[in-house]
Every structure is written in C-alpha cells, then in structure tokens.
Amino acid sequence: MAELTTLARPYAKAAFEYAQEHNSLDSWSSTLNFLAQVVDNATVQQMIGSPSTSDEQMLAMFQAVAGDQLNEHTTNFLRLLSENDRVGLLPDISALFEMMKADAEGTVDVNVTSVEPVSDEYRQRLGEVLRKRLGREVRLNFSIDKTLIGGALIRAGDLVIDGTVRARLNQLTGALAD
C-alpha cells in the first residue's frame, strides 16, 4: 500500500497543482473520484491487468464511461497514466488529491463511528471541540457500528481517538496482565 501511495503521489501532486492554478479543484476532485470508482470495477480491473489492452483502448473505455466528465486536460492526464501503466493508481491518486485539497482549503474530514446515532447537540459540540483541537474547519461524517459496545471512534486523517468501550477494556486487560 505504501508503495502504491509513493507511486501515486507525483501524479496527484501534478493534478492538484494544475487544478489549483486553474481554479478547478472541485471539478478535478469530482472527476478523479469518479475515475477511481471506475477503476474499482472488476471488468476494468481485468482490462488494466491485461497486457493486450492498448493505451488507446484504455482511453476509449474511460471516454465511453465518463462521457462529458472528461475534458481535454483530464483526458491528457488519463493518457499519461495509461502510457505509464499507472491507471490502477487512480484510487490512490484521488485520495491523495483530496488530502491536498483539504489541506489547501483548511478543512479536514472527520469520521465518527458510534454504536448508535448521536444527538444533534453532541454533533455540534464535537465539531466545535475538533475545530479548536485541529485548527481547521471540520466536516463530520457519522456511521454506526453495533460491535463497538459503546463510546465512539474518531478518525481525522492520521489522528485516531479511540474512546470505545472495547479499547478501554483492552487497556484494562493489558494493565491487569502486567
């Protein structure tokens, strides 16, 4: 995984710098996200892995699927990826692009997983606390995981705050074992 990220980084950086220079971050973000989803398709994976698929065939497939979402610049970007056998990196390129975009915009996506839905008051308080702690605008995404027993798991980029009951029980077990 780390190797894929290393390979994807220069492409993501080039796309980001171009999009930023041309005030088209949102457009590129949307297109890269779409293309990453296309690459995750099993049929497309077979095309990518097949040595008999030419660069032209790969590009034609993306143009057929994406239609109007591709412009001259994103088509050239796809051509470059295809010529360098890097089309399979699109999910990683898209993820890195999103991180660069969020950093430039001073925002961060925070994923909160809890055992049950949380109240609007809790959402608002959590947003304020994280905004202060991270020094950025926070976009909260909530999900439910019934296996947590209780508490919440908060992920913001590399930061993980594990306030779940399971984590506390594991800490207690570790302390008792020592």
Q: Look at residue 81 in the predicted model and tell me its pLDDT.
A: 95
Residues of the chain with pLDDT under 70: 1-2, 178
Structure tokens at 144: 């439910």
Phi first, then psi: what are they for 139, rounded to 5°? -110, 110
Q: How many CA atoms lie within 13 A of 149 on its CB side?
A: 9
Q: List all residues 6 or more positions away from 46 whose beta carbon is below 8 Å from its beta carbon.
A: none
92: Cα separation from own chain's centroid? 8
Residue 24's closest CA among 99, 81, 79, 101?
101
Distance CA 172, CA 65 (A): 52
Q: Look at residue 86 in the predicted model and tell me its pLDDT.
A: 94
Q: Look at residue 93 in the predicted model and tell me its pLDDT.
A: 96
Q: Look at residue 125 in the predicted model and tell me its pLDDT.
A: 94
pLDDT tens digits, residue range 95-137? 999 989 988 988 888 999 998 999 999 999 999 999 999 888 9
Burial of 158 (0-12, 13-18, 19+ CB in 10 A): exposed
Q: List all residues 6 or more positions away from 174 whose beta carbon is below 8 Å from its beta carbon.
A: none
Q: List all residues 6 or more positions away from 144 whose beta carbon is below 8 Å from its beta carbon.
A: 113, 114, 115, 116, 117
Q: Look at residue 147 in the predicted model and tell me its pLDDT.
A: 86
Helix (H, G, I), strand (E, B) or coil at 140: strand
pLDDT tens digits, residue range 73-82? 999 999 999 9
Helix (H, G, I), strand (E, B) or coil at 178: coil
